[in-house]
Every structure is written in structure tokens, then in C-alpha cells.
Amino acid sequence: MRVGVTGVSSDLGRGLLPRLEADPLVDSIVVFDVAHPPALTKKCSFVRVDLTRPGMEAALTRAFEEQRLDALFHLAFVNSRVHRAAFAHELEVIGSMHVLAAAQETGLARLIIPSLTALYGARPDGPALCTEAHPLEGTGVRFVTDRVEVEHQIEKFAARNPEVHVVVLRFAPIVGQTADNPFTRLLRTGFIPTILGFDPVWQVVHEDDAVTALHLALSTKAEGSFNVVGDSAAPFSTIARLAGAQTVPLPGPLLRTTILALESAGVASVPVPLLAFLRYSWLADGQRARKQLGFEPRVPFLEAMASMRERRT
């Protein structure tokens, strides 16, 4: 197989590359990025693309045609700190539009894209377990709404191109020694203001298991969306404590004031539009990934959370 990867410098991209390098079914890997990554494996070649640039669709189509891809991992999504919401929107929403248009034009056989279980949202009338058929109701923060828009693009793309094998992996919050995303940055602050009287149940998945699910998607006969979650769930206060952080329950008005003060000081906190996730439990059913994708989490919950206490490398 000749496999393309966008977003190779992301957490998922860095973890996936060694798996693809060791996979005997993968003959070559084509890395699409705006800058040459500092270290690439032996199977890798590099093609410069800027997914945020106007007119990128035509250039990307030519690149896909020249590289004769069998599959593409589209991992170019923003999880690191970005102070320009417009850039994040251009990369995730507009960039994904370019990728999907080029995939359609060139007849790409397989497309694999990561997503989030957070897109289901958290609300008092939500289901006990969200299956993949549950609507993506999201919330009012860019980090979530942009991903919902991308999933809607993918749904329309899959309907127009039934011959393309599309796999979307909706990950629970990813944790691990090297994981860098809004959730892990929140846990690493050590001080997390929460809502007094509420302690919702959360799921997580270890970074190694997340990469395993991605790798499985390269050869699975199953297609569509899959919830990728760990082997257990726990109250948010327990998750924070196991990661070495402390929750500080505050009444609503004081909580909002505290969050705004922390944000002004440049300290990671839960954005006000995401407070529903600290009020209501939100759990995703991972049975479809287990039965059809063959995914089984290998890192136990306690070990996954303990890895958050380890020094990042």
C-alpha cells in the first residue's frame, strides 16, 4: 500500500508513523505538510502542501494523482495551543474541504479521519451511552463546532462517493505521557475549578491505544464512524486526582469569574461554553469499534491516568 498522511506532526501523526513504517503491507508513506518534519522514517517521502492556502484544492489533487495513494490519514487538526481561531478554522474546516475534494477527484480508495466523542455534547437529557448514530449536538466552542462541521462534510462526501472506504474514529479524551491537547493541558495545570455539586463520569483513551485504532482502520473491512474509548470510566474528580491534579468545586457565578481570571492570566482552564461537560456525564458506546474494527484497549484505565504524572519527552 502507498499511504498518505497529513498532520504528521500531530500527536496522532507522530505515533502512527512508526506503526506504518513497521507494517509490511505499507510499501511507502507520503507526508503532506507545510514544512518538512524534522525526522521521517525510511519509507517516507515529503510533499509540501499548505491546507490553509486559497486554491489548494487543485494543487492537492495534482499531488494525490502523482503519488498514486491507496489510502490517506487526514490528521491535520489543531489540538495544540492556537491563539488565532481563524487559522484553526481555515486548517480544519477549509483544509478538510480541500482534502475531500482532492480525494473525490482522484478516486482515493480509503480515507481515515480522527474525531471526538465530545461532539455528542453533554446535556441533562442525553442518553446513558452515545452510539455512533447519536446526533452530533456539540457545544458553542470553536474546538468542538469546527469538528462538527468537518464531520458533516465527511458525511456528505461518503454519501456522494460510496466507493470510497471512509473511516471516522471518534476518540474519547486522549491521555498519555506525550499527549498534548486541551484536556491534558487542563489536567497538567494541577488546579481545576469545577461546578459545586456536580461530578460527571468521563471516559479517556491512552495515546498508544488511539494510535492502534488508527492503524487498524487502514486494513479493516468495516467503514463509517467508530467510538474509540478506554476500558473504563470514572468521575471527573477521580480522573483529575489520578493525573495529579486537584478539583476545586465552586458555585456557578464564582466559577465563571475564576475561569475568566485564569484565561486572562494565560492559564489553561475549561472554557465557559464547555462547562456542560463538567455538569453532565457524557459517555460513548465503544462496542462497534470492538466488534467491527477489532479494537481492544490495551492500556488499563489506572495505568493510562498514571502516565499523566510522568514527565513528557
For residue 225, being part of any structural domain is answered with: yes
Beta strands at 174-175 and 28-33: parallel, antiparallel or unpaired: unpaired
**pLDDT tens for residues 103-162?**
999 999 999 999 999 999 999 998 999 999 999 988 877 778 899 999 999 999 999 999
**Segment holding 265, helix H or strand E:** none
- What residues does 226 pair with on adjacent strands? 169
Residue 313 has pLDDT above 50, yes or no: no
C-alpha cell read off for 80: 495544540
SS3 209: helix
pLDDT for the residue numbered 150 = 96
**How many CB atoms sit inside 10 A of residue 182's CB?**
19
**pLDDT tens for residues 160-192?**
999 999 999 999 999 999 999 989 988 998 889
φ, ψ dihedrals at 198, nearest 5°: -130, 140
**Segment holding 145, helix H or strand E:** helix 142-160
What mean pLDDT comes out for the span 231-238? Answer: 97
What is the percent of the chain where pLDDT is above 90? 76
**pLDDT tens for residues 5-43?**
999 999 999 999 999 999 999 999 999 998 898 878 889
For residue 33, being part of any structural domain is answered with: yes
For residue 31, being part of any structural domain is answered with: yes
For residue 196, being part of any structural domain is answered with: no
pLDDT for the residue numbered 121 = 93
Check residues 92 and 312 and name the one with the higher pLDDT: 92
Residue 311 has pLDDT above 70, yes or no: no
Q: Which domain holds residue 101?
A: 2-178+205-229+284-298
Average predicted confidence (pLDDT) for the chain: 92
Check residues 55 and 15 and name the one with the higher pLDDT: 15
Residue 221 has pLDDT above 80, yes or no: yes
For residue 241, being part of any structural domain is answered with: no
Q: List, in order, residues 6 or more apart from 279 with CB less than 8 Å away.
A: 122, 195, 198, 200
**pLDDT tens for residues 276-308?**
999 999 999 999 999 999 999 999 999 999 999
pLDDT for the residue numbered 308 = 94
pLDDT for the residue numbered 189 = 87
Q: Find where cell 486526582 sits.
A: 241
Confidence of residue 2 (pLDDT cuts 50, 70, 90): very high
For residue 136, being part of any structural domain is answered with: yes
Integer angstrom CA distances of residue 222 from 208, 232, 253: 21, 24, 47
Q: Find where cell 510533499 sits.
A: 47
For residue 158, being part of any structural domain is answered with: yes
What mean pLDDT comes out for the span 80-89? Answer: 64
**Cα end-to-end span (Å), the chain:** 31
Integer angstrom CA distances of residue 251 from 248, 254, 257, 260: 10, 6, 10, 14
What is the percent of the chain where pLDDT is above 70? 97
- Count of structural domains within the chain: 1
Residue 80 has pLDDT above 80, yes or no: no
Q: Find where cell 465503544 sits.
A: 286
For residue 186, being part of any structural domain is answered with: no
Torsion sign over Cα 292, 143, 139, 158? negative
Task: Output the domain CATH number for residue 126.
Answer: 3.40.50.720
